[in-house]
Structure 1
Amino acid sequence: MHYAMDERIKKQLPLVCIVGPTASGKSSLGIHLAKVFSGEIISADSRQIYRGMDIGTDKALPDVNQDAVPQAIGRLIPSRSGEVVHWLLDIADPEELYTLAQYQRDALHIIPGIIKRGRVPFLVGGTGLYVAAVVDNFVIPKGNDADQYKIRAELDVRLHTEGLQELYRDLCKRDTDAAWQVDGKNPRRVIRALEVCILTGKPFTQQKKQKKSRYDVLQLGIITSTEEREKKIRKRVQEMIAQGFAGEVQKLITKDYDRDLPSMTGIGYKEIGSWLSNGGSVVLPLPEEVIEGIVVATLQYAKRQMTWFKRDKRIHWVTDAQEAEKITRKFLQM
C-alpha cells in the first residue's frame, strides 16, 4: 500500500518515532508500520552503525533482494530488510569515532529525501540522545575533528591511569549539574561530557540548546511490564549466543580492534571479549556467569532507557501494533 500524504503533511515534514527499551519490539513494529504507511526506517541505535557487529546489536540484516533501494547519499548506503528500506546501518568501522553531531547531520540529510519520494520517515531505536537530537533539533557544540580526537585520546589514557571515578570527579567540578544528568558508571558518557566541556569551555549540561523542530512529530513508545521485559531479554541473549555471538566477537578481536573502543564496550561485546581474552574459546560453551553478566547489564540498560523516555510527556505509549497503527493513521490524516 502506498500511503498518499496530504499537503499539510508535505509542508510540515512528518516524522514518526518508535522508541522504548531494548528487546521491546521496536524493530518489528517499525517494519510493520513502514509497510502499512509506505515508510522508510532511519535507525536510532548507536551500536547498529558499526560494520561487523550484527548479532550482538540485533541488527536488521539485508534481504537477499535489494531491488528498488533508493540511491546512496554519499557514504550513506541504504539497505532493504524485511521488505523495508533502512538507513544508518553499517556506516562506520568499529574503530571509527562517530559523534552525536554526525548522527544528527546524517539523519537530517536523509529525512527530506524520504518525504520527497512521497514516503513516511520512521525514526526507530532506543538511543535517547540520537532521537532527541533529531526531534528537538539540538544545537550541538562543534569542534575541530583533530582536536576532538586528541582530547578523546587523552581522556582514554586518563581513564586507564586515573580511573573512572577520578574522571567523574573532574566532570562534576567543571559541571555541577552533571552529577545527576550523566551516568557516572558509564565511561563513554563521562568521557563524552568531559570532552564537550574541554572543547567548548562550558558545562556539558548547559549545551543542549534547541532550535525550532523541523518536523511534525509523532512519538510512539512500546511499554512492557518489568517481568515481560526480563523474559524477553533472557530469551534474546540466548538466541544471540545460539546464532554465534561469541564467534562474532572473536572476529573483531582477530582484527585487533581495541577492547576499549566505544564499539567494543557495548553490552555483550565487553563481557564476551573479556572472557575470550582470558582463555575462553569459541569452541567452548559460554560460562553461565558470562551469560548472566550480559543479561544483568542489558536489564540495567533497559531500565535507564525507560527512565530517559518516560521523562518525555510527548510519547504515546502503546502495547501492541494495532494500537500503534491506529494512532499513526490518525496522525497522518489530520
Structure 2
Amino acid sequence: MRFLERFSVQALRRFCASVLAGGALALAAPPPAAADPTFWKSEWPNTDFSRTIVGSWGEIISGGPPKDGIPALSDPSFVRVASESRIEGREPVITVEIDGQAPRAYPIRYLTWHEIVNDRIGGVPVAVTFCPLCNSGIVFDRRVNGRVLTFGVSGKLRNSDMIMFDRETESWWQQAIGTGIVGRYTGMELTQIPAWMESWDQFRARNPDGLVMNEPSWNRSYGSNPYRGYDSSRRPFLYSGEMPPHGIPPLARVVRVGDRAWPLARVSEAGELREAGVTISWQSGQASALDSGRIGKGRDVGSIRVRDAQGRDVAHDVMFAFAFHAFWPDGEWMLN
C-alpha cells in the first residue's frame, strides 16, 4: 500500500519521529509547534526572531523531530571505491567533483537518515543536503562573508522542505533555495556547488579511484527507505500550498536550473535537451530513493547531468514539482 493511503498527517508526524529513533514507528510524537516565535525561544534562545523574510509564521511547522532530532553529520570518513561493498549498484549517490580533489560520492542511504553532511573538500567547506519530502539534493559552500558555518537539521518545515540552521548564530535556512529565512543571516544566500545524483554503479565506473562516504556509526537501518511509496503519492504531506500548474502531478520530478523547471519525464523521453543555454542529459540506471522499501530496489528514475555551452557542470536540482512551484511561483516551466 502506498504512502498516501497508509498515513494521515498526524501519523506522518509519528513517522517522522521514528526517523530520529531509527526503528519502528514511535507511539507518540511531539505536538506541532505553534506558529509563534515566542513558543520557539526556549528551544532557540540564540535565534534572532526579529529578522525574517517569512510572510507568516504559520508557514513554518514542526515536522515531528526536535532540533537535531535528525542528526546532521560532520567530518565524515571516506573509503576508496574498490573497498566499498555494502551499496547496491542502482542506489543514488550525490557526486561532488572539485578540481584537484578526488571525486566524492555521498550515498543517499545515509543522507535519508541524516539529511546534512558538513564536510571539507580540499579548501572548500561544503554542506551536502537532501530533503526526502522534496527529493531535493543540493550541495552548498558553507562560507558566508568569510565565516565557515556548520549546519544542522532544525526539525521545522516550510512548504514541506527542510529548514536547516547554522550552529554559529542559529539562523534558519531554507534548504531548497539556500537562503537565510530567520535570524542574523536573514536574506543571505549560500553558494550552490555543481553536483548531481547518479547511481553508485555510474559513479564507480567513471571514478575507480574515487572516494565514497563511509557508513556512519549511528544505529540506523541504512539502505532501507522509511518513506516507501512516497513519490507515487497523489499529494505531498505537510504541504498546504498551491499545486503546480499545467496539470503536472505535484510529486513529479523536475530538473530545476535557476528559476526554470524541465519535467523529468520530458528529459528522459528526449534523452538530451539543449535549451536556455544548457544541455540536460538523462541516463537510465538510478533507483528512486523514495519508492521501494529498499532504496536499491526502487524503480528506475535515471540520472541527470546539466552542462553549459563550454561543457562545465551547472548547479541544479531534481526536485518535486510542488516544491518548485512553492519556492518559484513565477518560475518558467519548460514544457514541450
When normalised by structure 1's length, the TM-score is 0.25
Greater Rg by CA: 1
Higher relative helix content: 1
When normalised by structure 2's length, the TM-score is 0.25
Task: Choose between structure 1 and 2 for higher RCO, CA contacts under 8 A separated by at least 6 residues.
Answer: 1
